[in-house]
């Protein structure tokens, strides 16, 4: 077997150079592992991740490969529009839902079906759904005016809080059986233990893919006033979130990433008096499509933001964000995207948005 010294020589390196290179690579891997675990501790936000299409005015400090162009600033420090949530219609998906089929003896009206669902939870930790097969042989959420020959009810198996537990699942199974009895329908209930195991496996996959990647900009000297950050973000075309905790970069109705100013709140804090030590751009990786190249766009924006604010880019450990680190991160993200595709839950899909919520 070739020795370490011979291996280093074959690469044209000294033993010291090769050792330092391996140490550097290990540190980069540790940073990525830290990023992968950090999201499990991040407070989950509500539907503010889905927002109306951004204004046509493009960012003033961004020139992102024709996706986001450069234009003259048009917004003042207090004029930032607020991102407005868009209601999304959830569809049953066997990849992330426990699905139970009900075979009806005859066509039943949506009004009758909905009358039996009044005691179903509306704001459960795990989403409950009921769909019917309509006259056009399409599955749709049951509506009053509809008529259905088959039903399927479902409960989501996992989300960012973790996998479904035996209590929630048993409640769902009980109500599904009660619905079948009320409608005189045949029902096939899966073994609870198998569903619990499936939920745990789904949660394990989600934990491995649940990455929130941050690029931080710090001042070269002193601190920034919060009003300066607000002005720069607004003029660059970011939209203020409804709770005021961050600004959002929105492209084609997708929240690409968020701009967070330390622990500041742009709606509650006195912007003229609040000073901050850093701003961070945060990418919620599984919720943004790979085809939109969100990391590249965020990195380009971060560089231009640093120039605008006279700051420097650093990673999560406070080290300068060098090209080698960017290359390593890009490769790691590619592996995560590929794993999500292989699971049938590509990043940015409706299914991914439900799972990572």
222: confidence class by pLDDT, cuts 50, 70, 90: very high
The ranges assigned to domains in the chain are 34-85+211-355, 97-156+161-207
Dihedral sign from CA coordinates of 288, 293, 299, 303 = negative
Q: Who wins on pLDDT, 230 or 12? A: 230
Statement: residue 45 has pLDDT above 80? no
pLDDT at residue 345, as a whole number: 98
pLDDT digits (tens, 9 = 90+) for 48-79: 343 343 333 344 443 333 333 333 333 333 44
Residue 6 — very low, low, confident or very high, per pLDDT cuts 50/70/90?
low
Burial code (b: 16+ CB inside 10 Å, e: under 16) for 141-179 equals: ebeeebbbebbbbbbbbbbbeebbeeebbebbbebbeeb
What pLDDT does residue 60 have? 40
Q: pTM of the prediction?
A: 0.75
For the segment 178-198, the average pLDDT, to the nearest whole number, is 96
User: For residue 38, is pLDDT > 70?
Assistant: no
Q: What is the average pLDDT score of the chain?
A: 83
- CATH code of the domain made up of 34-85+211-355: 3.30.1400.10
For 97-156+161-207, which CATH superfamily applies? ZipA, C-terminal FtsZ-binding domain (3.30.1400.10)
Q: 34-85+211-355 with 97-156+161-207: one CATH topology?
A: yes
The 10s digit of each residue's pLDDT in 303-348 is: 999 999 999 999 878 889 999 999 999 999 999 999 999 999 999 9
SS (H, E, C) the chain: CCCHHHHHHHCCCCHHHHHHHHHHHHHHHHHHHHHHHHHHHCCCCCHHHEECCCCCCCCCCCCECCCECCCCCCCCCCCCCECCECCCCCCCCCCCEEEEEEEEEEEEEHHHHHHCCCCCCCCCCCCEEEEEECCCCCEEECCCCCEEEEEEEEEECEECCEECCHHHHHHHHHHHHHHHHHHCCEECCCCHHHHHHHHHHHHHHHHHHCCEEEEEEEECCCCEEHHHHHHHHHHCCCEECCCCCCEEEEECCEEEEEEECCCCCCCCCCCCCCEECCEEEEEEHHHCCHHHCHHHHHHHHHHHHHHHHCEEEECCCCCECCHHHHHHHHHHHHHHHHHHHHHCCCCCCHHHHHHCC
And the tokens for 20?
């330092």
- Cross-strand partners of 218: 312
């Amino acid at each position: 077997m070739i020795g370490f010294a011979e291996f280093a020589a074959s690469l044209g390196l000294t033993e010291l150079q090769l050792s330092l290179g391996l140490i550097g690579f290990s540190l980069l891997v540790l940073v990525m592992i830290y990023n992968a675990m950090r999201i499990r501790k991040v407070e989950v936000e509500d539907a503010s991740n889905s927002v109306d299409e951004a204004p046509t005015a493009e960012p003033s400090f961004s020139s992102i490969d024709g996706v986001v162009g450069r234009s003259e600033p048009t917004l003042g420090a207090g004029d930032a529009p607020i991102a407005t949530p868009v209601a999304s219609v959830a569809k049953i998906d066997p990849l992330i839902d426990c699905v139970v089929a009900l075979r009806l003896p005859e066509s039943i009206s949506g009004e009758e079906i909905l009358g039996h669902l009044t005691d179903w939870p509306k704001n459960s930790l795990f989403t409950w759904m009921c769909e019917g097969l309509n006259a056009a042989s399409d599955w749709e959420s049951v509506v009053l005016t509809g008529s259905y020959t088959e039903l399927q009810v479902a409960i989501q198996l996992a989300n960012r809080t973790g996998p479904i537990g035996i209590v929630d699942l048993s409640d769902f199974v009980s109500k599904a059986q009660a619905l079948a009895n009320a409608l005189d329908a045949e029902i096939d209930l899966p073994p609870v233990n198998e569903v619990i195991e499936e939920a745990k496996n789904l949660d394990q996959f989600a934990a491995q893919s649940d990455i929130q990647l941050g690029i931080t900009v710090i001042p070269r000297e002193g601190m920034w006033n919060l009003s300066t950050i607000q002005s720069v973000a607004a003029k660059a075309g970011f939209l203020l979130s409804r709770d005021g905790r961050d600004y959002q970069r929105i492209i084609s109705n997708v929240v690409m990433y968020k701009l967070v100013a330390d622990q500041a709140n742009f709606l509650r804090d006195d912007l003229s008096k609040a000073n901050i030590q850093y701003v961070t751009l945060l990418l919620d990786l599984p919720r943004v499509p790979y085809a939109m190249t969100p990391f590249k766009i965020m990195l380009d924006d971060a560089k231009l933001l640093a120039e605008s604010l006279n700051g420097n880019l650093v990673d999560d450990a406070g080290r300068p964000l060098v090209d080698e680190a960017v290359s390593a991160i890009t490769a790691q993200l590619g592996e995560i995207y590929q794993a999500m595709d292989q699971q049938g839950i590509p990043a940015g899909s409706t299914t991914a948005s439900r799972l990572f919520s």
